[in-house]
Chains A and B, each alone.
Chain A
Amino acid sequence: MSQLAIFVVLLALGYGFGRMAESRHYRSIVEREQRHARISTLTLRTLESEPATVRRTQLVSGNVVISVDYFKRVAAGLRGFFGGNVQAYESLVDRARREAVLRLKESCPGAAHILNLRVETSSIYKGRGNGIGSVEVLAYGTAVYFDVE
Chain B
Amino acid sequence: MKLKPGIESLDTDNVNVSHTSPLREFAILLVSAFALLALVYVLLGLLIDRAVDWIDPATEKAVFGQLSSALDDGTPPTNAEASLQDLVNRIQQCLDPGYQVEVDLVAESAPNAFALPGGRMIVTQGLIDQMESENGLAFVLAHELGHFANRDHLRGLGRGVVLAALSSIVLGTDSGLDAVFAPASMAGQARFSRERESDADRVSLGALQCHYQHVSGADAFFRALKTAGYGDESEPAYVHFFASHPDVDSRIASLKRLSREAGYASGRERPLPEALQ
Contact = CB atoms under 8 A, between A and B. Distances in A.
Interface of A: 1, 3-4, 6-7, 15, 26, 30, 33-34, 37-40, 42, 47-49, 70-75, 77-82, 85, 87-88, 90-91, 93-94, 98, 113, 129-130
Interface residues of B, number: 33
A90 B17 contact: yes
Interface of B: 1, 3, 5-8, 10-11, 14, 16-18, 20, 22-23, 25-26, 29-30, 32-33, 170-172, 174-177, 179-180, 182-184
Contacts of B25: 75, 87-88
Contacts, number: 87
A93 B3 CA distance: 27
B20 A87 contact: yes
18 contacts: A3-B182, A4-B183, A15-B22, A37-B7, A47-B1, A71-B26, A74-B176, A75-B26, A77-B176, A77-B177, A78-B26, A78-B30, A80-B175, A82-B29, A87-B25, A90-B17, A90-B18, A98-B8
A7 B179 contact: yes
Given A87-B22, A90-B16, A91-B17, A129 B7 contact: no
A48 B25 CA distance: 48
Contacts of A74: 26, 175-177, 180
Nearest to B184: A4
Contacts of B170: 81
A27 to B, nearest CB: 9
A73 B10 contact: no
Given A3-B183, A48-B1, A90-B18, 12 more contacts: A4-B180, A30-B10, A47-B1, A74-B177, A78-B29, A78-B30, A78-B175, A78-B177, A81-B29, A81-B170, A82-B32, A113-B3
A129 B170 CA distance: 17
Nearest to B5: A40
B17 A1 contact: no
